[in-house]
Amino acid sequence: MREITPSIDFDKRLAGEDLAGSRAHVRMLASEGIVAKEDASAILLGLEQIEREIADGKFVFKRELEDIHLNIEARLTEIIGPAAGRLHTARSRNDQVVTDFRLWVRAACERADHGLLQLSRALLTQAELHAATIMPGYTHMQPAQPVTFGHHLMAYVEMFARDRGRFEDARKRLNESPLGAAALAGTSFPIDRDVTAMSLGFSRPMRNSMDAISARDFALEYLAACTISAVNLSRLAGELVQWSMPAFGFVKLSDAFTTGSSIMPQKRNPDAAELIRGKTGRVLGDFVSLATVVKGLVLTFGSDLQEDKERVFDAADTIEISLAAMAAMIADLTADPAKMRAAAEPGFTTATDLADWVVRVLKKPFREAHHIAGSIVKRAEEAGVTLDKLPLAEMQAIEPAITDGVFSVLSLDASVNSRMSLGGTAPARVKEQIRLWRERLK
């Protein structure tokens, strides 16, 4: 029991939140006349001393006292004597711990949002530099149509904006105070839960004491947001790994974010990106672990819930360092526009533009135009040239009505510039989106 019971090794991270909750609680007790004002003053002074001791690294955390709550209460008793025992009036460790935990997760949502904001700004800066830099866009990992590097990066700005929305939603939903629910049934003392909720920055008290004690869906929702964000980070990390391969050469990652080989001196390994990609499984594991803990618990409290904090702490540490590393990598990378453009040349990536031209100019149904374009692609492939280099006579042998006007749409630049539909890759549209997001991310 001495080994399995203590949580102080990890829940000491809740010290700041525990002190904040205790201050709000004792002030309310004093204002309602439940605790004498002189006792409340002594408790507040004692809590201030404990805060300084923790900040200075002088506080001694004792495993025999199990958790952060009993460690602080025991030290408070050493400082001010028996009056310390009045702090626990009208509350339980049950509502105390979940109040601390909600405060901690609320701050974690805000840190994740900040990390995503910094990453989005780094992506915007690179996108602005490369709004017109042509690269191949892929489907099925095959060259599909030319796009711009800026457009590609802006896709991640959109993606990470949704991640920010998930953390914001999670924060809004968790921002209700369980303090005052006591062990599970509320308390007979005439407490004012609105006062403590307001003092701690919660929007309101939770309305059901049993739900207040037992609910951990706020932690699950935070972990779900972390998991989705980690998945999105992994996708970008995978692209950085791919783009930095010599076979692609689209980007160069600096020595700050790569490592060498122990025996191959020429290597530049994209370790930071690979580590971010690998940490996705860790964050997902944290979500699955807590969901598994909670799924069988009847109302209200069981010591199983002691397992909630390590999973959340681990996911928070993981997502925060991943976001910081990714933002720094994006800001630091150097793109190679020449290699990107060269990679967009093969694969007949303007074939759709050819089909569209046949529809628009020759008034053919798209399915017929698709067949004509496919036949011309085959002819170009046999001739070993790109579509814009295939002689007009070769195209006319397949469709006599084709004119030399077709060449106006077959270059990479013409293809990209023509994609002016909302959300398209045309540089003008990309710059428009960059301006919009610059304003949103101020």
Catalytic residues: 140, 261
Are the beta carbons of 231 and 281 closer than 8 angstroms?
Answer: no
In 3D space, the residue among 64, 101, 44 whose CA is nearest the CA of residue 290 turns out to be 101
* CA 302 distance to own-chain centroid: 31
CB atoms within 10 A of CB 249: 15
Angle between helices 93-129 and 217-243 (to 10 degrees): 30
Are the beta carbons of 396 and 119 closer than 8 angstroms?
Answer: no
Are the beta carbons of 135 and 343 closer than 8 angstroms?
Answer: yes
Record the tokens describing residue 74, joined without a space.
Answer: 């025991």
Measured CA to CA, the distance from residue 436 to residue 75 in angstroms comes to 53
Q: Which residues pair with 142 in a beta bridge?
A: 139
Record the tokens describing residue 203, joined without a space.
Answer: 């929007």
Task: Return the sign of the alpha-carbon dihedral for residues 172, 173, 178, 181.
Answer: positive
Alpha-carbon separation of residue 50 from 4, 15, 44, 75 (angstroms): 27, 10, 10, 7
